[in-house]
Structure 1
Amino acid sequence: MTKVLISGASVAGPALAYFLHRDGYDVTVVERATELRDSGYAVDFRGAAFDVLEEMGVLAEVREHDTKMRGTTLVDEKGVETGQLPAEAFAGELEVPKRELTRILHRITAGDVEYVFDDSISAMSRHESGVTVRFERGATREFDLVFGADGVFSKVRELAFGPHADAVRHLGLSGVGFSTANHVGLDHSGLLQHLDDTAIYMFSADEADRLTVSLSFATASPALDRRGRHEQEQAVRAAFAGHGWQVPWLLEAMSQADDFYFSSACQVRLDRWSHGRVALVGDAGYCAAPTSGMGTSQALIGAWTLARNLTSSGGDHATAFSAYEAELRPYVAENQTKGRQAAATFGGGTD
């Protein structure tokens, strides 16, 4: 039985694990976090992603967690309404809390797939018959194939393809996300204020008393992603200094939040998504940026496409990886164009 290792237990990793195990592979998933991640914004689904969820047998269950967003109100610097956006602008054809999707994907694979939490790949040695993998905590193991599904700053990609700087392209935006009390009384709806090079988006959906907040601003690089929380908060405060409306209390809520999360809008662009017996899937290989609205759908479709080509190739990984890339690249290119255009709309660049 072909033994495979998948790095990352968010969306692309467990989805790939599901399809590979179904097709007869012996699958191990390693995840740096100590347990299943219970955070993240709501995620949305578009197009062929529904076919993937249906094939996995979870579409109906995922639909049960629909946030039922009704739309977003646009406001000016004083909070006065200037327009409306339909729910589809942010929620796609279906939106669910990310934690619910992650739980579902883990549940349908946990009985068949080996999950190793609180560990990470530290080194890989590729040879003709497989890949020797060293871990930060666990013992060294041998695998036939290794897949990186570990995000924009993928450890697998760094080890097999080179430095992050060679693949990650900053789109000129960074931001913080967190949740707080729903003091503005939103009900399955959102508020969006866009002023020059800053944007505030807040919404309330599945938990009526909670407000999810995003504060984004123009940046020259993703360097803040690797800094500590104090420095990240200081950058947010500097970007929003002097802003009125809801900003003062949002900044205080940010400092008190226990689910503080900072990230930059980036894309991953590579000339190839595989190197020998190592391949990338999802954000690790071709992130289109959160501004594209396609991250989750792309992760699911990518995992489905990769697994399908492995099966149809009869286990010939070189043929499968080539076919996977040829099939998926046009879709990824379209999504990355959307990501760059949306980032530019909010004051970012178009690198």
Structure 2
Amino acid sequence: MAGQFPAGHAALTALAELAHARLAFTQRHRAGLDAGTSSAAAGGSAGANAHGANGHGVNVHNGEGPMIPQPAGAVQNALRRQATEEEEAELATQEEEEALFLGLVEPDEIDMMDFIDPEAEEFDQEKELQDWETAQRDAELAAEAERAENFALQQDMQDVGIDTDRHRLAQIVREGAQWLVDDQAFFQATYAQMAQVQYATQQLLENVHQGMQMAMEIERAANLEEAVRARTEAAIAAETHRMQMAAVKTQANQCKAQMTRLQEALEKEKDRNNCKICFSRTKNAVLLPCLHADYCMQCIAEHRKRRNTCPTCRTPLSGTLECRPAAPDDD
């Protein structure tokens, strides 16, 4: 534990040194109290005698009666002794506890669990609980595995017994079949032997019936498994086809959107090349001097009849140039 908690060991060492110092102080203080008590007792006795002598109390023995102590001094002495005894008892208790701590318990032997952090202690408790739960699960799994192994062993033994019975019954039936083909053996067979053959035949027939039922169940299970497999494959194929159709539909929508964008781009390009007045003829007029070329010659001619300015910038026109597309190369 000391190797795991070096800080706790240092703290214990410091506590031990502090306890040694406190014990020494307690012993010195107790020695001082003892000396003070003795001095106080002597002073009180002297004061009581003096008090009795000055006439305030009766503390004088005149030979005619008993000595009577002075009342005030006796009360003070009793109170002083009571306080001293209580303080001595408290100091003695502290001294015993410190001596027990220092003499009987070594720092390395102190339970370090007192110095463990509560969070660390809670973590240890949770870890112990997890370990216990893990051990319980392992034990349950081991018990389950053992039960399964025992059950398998019993099944094997039972199967071996059934096979042995079948072989014995088959042997009896074979012997009975020989009696059927041999007249002499047939008439020599006893009733018990015949009954045994009959019982063996019935048991074998029951085994055959059970085997037929088992084979039927196996075939039914195989057919069911095949049907389930076929249904699963059909469902997978349908899902694959649905996903493919969805992909084709998505691709078709994408193509349609792209065609729409191309059509819009063509319309914009067509509008860009057409006259901005009639929107039908191609732009072929260049206006001077502003050089705007957004109109056709026919529309500009009609416009100049009304106003000789550029329709775009309102600049007075000095002339118009007609532009024609370049002829294609013959080569």
What's the TM-score, normalizing by structure 1? 0.12
Give the strand-richer structure, 1 or 2. Answer: 1
- Provide TM-score, normalisation by structure 2: 0.13
**Bigger Rg, structure 1 or 2:** 2
Q: Higher helix proportion, which one?
A: 2
| Higher RCO (Cα < 8 Å, 6 or more apart) | 1
